[in-house]
């Protein structure tokens, strides 16, 4: 499901399709006191949130990637909140805090957040859009590669593949995303569009579910195409007629051309024979 106002290009749909994308997105709530104090201590530079989702164990990543991440994040003036599946990490920089779980949307909606480093899952990208946060995606699998290529094309984030993960590449992407005004303007505009709805996706979906139940399936909203045989819906009978007619016409024209050409050749041969006699 997509958010109708975020759809590019806009496509025509029948009334039976209800757009409720971002149904899980919500305004941020206050953070736990200890976490809020730690973020407040970041001051003007703000902080970065790094999470590879719930299905990926961050501690299983190859040592060469972990080393680059630790070195780059430790070199930043921002504080970094890193979702990590263990209690500790070797050589943890002083500006990095590990957490096994955090309320992600409350983090994304915090005014001091500067950047979201993510695996690029669908829910994470939608939540980042809703809260107006630029993202740096390091996709791992499934739909994440497509999601992040789309984000980069739309101009409100970057994608960095693991094979390209070097100190200079990672640091360069992070600094550019935090300072590029065009990227910030784009993600803020997308956030405004996503939030500017007549009602929340939850209320919208609830209304239509109740509507369909109340009207016994709401058959009056269904497209007539539902009841049309497939060969009529896709004009297969019309195309078949056109193909057969074209083939017959082509065959007839070929046969006539052959007959005319043969008659001309015979006439020419007969004329030469008459002249010789």
Q: What is the pLDDT of residues 123-171, one digit of tens each?
A: 999 999 999 999 999 999 889 999 999 999 999 999 999 999 999 999 9
Do 263 and 162 lie in one domain? The reply is no
Mapping DSSP onto H, E and C, the string for 42-91 reads CCCCCEEEEECCCCCCHHHCCHHHHHHHHHHHHHCCCEEEEECCCCCCCC
Q: What is the mean pLDDT of the chain?
A: 91
Domain assignment present for 159? yes
CA-wise closest residue to 113 among 31, 25, 195, 56: 31
Q: Which domain holds residue 265?
A: 230-276
- What is the model's pTM? 0.80
Asked if the structure places residue 51 within a domain, the reply is yes
Q: Please tell me whether residues 43 and 173 are part of one structural domain.
A: yes
Number of domains in the chain: 2
Which tokens in the block code for residue 20?
């409720």
CATH number for 154: 3.40.50.2000
**Whether residues 164 and 41 fall in one domain:** yes
Choose one of 196, 211, 244: the last residue of a domain: 196
pLDDT digits (tens, 9 = 90+) for 164-212: 999 999 999 999 999 999 999 999 999 999 999 888 889 999 999 999 9
Q: Each residue of 92-124: pLDDT tens digit?
A: 999 999 999 999 999 999 999 999 999 999 999
């Amino acid at each position: 499901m997509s958010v109708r106002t975020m759809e590019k290009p806009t496509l025509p749909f029948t009334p039976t399709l209800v757009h409720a994308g971002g149904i899980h997105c919500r305004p941020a709530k206050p953070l736990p006191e200890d976490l809020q104090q730690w973020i407040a201590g970041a001051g003007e530079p703000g902080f970065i949130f790094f999470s590879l989702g719930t299905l990926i164990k961050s501690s299983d990543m190859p040592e060469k990637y972990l080393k680059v991440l630790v070195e780059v994040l430790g070199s930043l003036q921002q504080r970094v909140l890193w979702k990590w599946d263990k209690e500790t990490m070797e050589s943890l920089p002083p500006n990095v805090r590990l957490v096994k779980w955090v309320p992600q949307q409350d983090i994304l909606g915090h005014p001091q957040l500067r950047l979201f480093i993510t695996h690029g899952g669908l829910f994470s990208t939608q939540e980042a859009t809703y809260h107006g946060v630029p993202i740096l995606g390091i996709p791992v699998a499934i739909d994440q590669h497509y999601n992040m290529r789309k984000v980069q094309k739309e101009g409100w984030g970057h994608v960095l593949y693991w094979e390209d993960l070097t100190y200079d590449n990672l640091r360069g992407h992070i600094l550019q995303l935090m300072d590029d005004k065009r990227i910030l303007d784009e993600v803020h505009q997308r956030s405004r569009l996503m939030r500017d709805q007549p009602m929340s996706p939850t209320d919208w979906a609830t209304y239509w579910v109740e509507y369909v139940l109340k009207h016994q399936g709401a058959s009056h909203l269904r497209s007539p195409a539902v009841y049309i045989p497939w060969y009529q819906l896709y004009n297969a009978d019309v195309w078949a007629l056109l193909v057969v007619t074209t083939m017959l016409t082509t065959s007839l024209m070929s046969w006539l051309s052959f007959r005319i050409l043969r008659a001309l050749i015979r006439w020419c041969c007969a004329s030469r024979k008459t002249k010789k006699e």
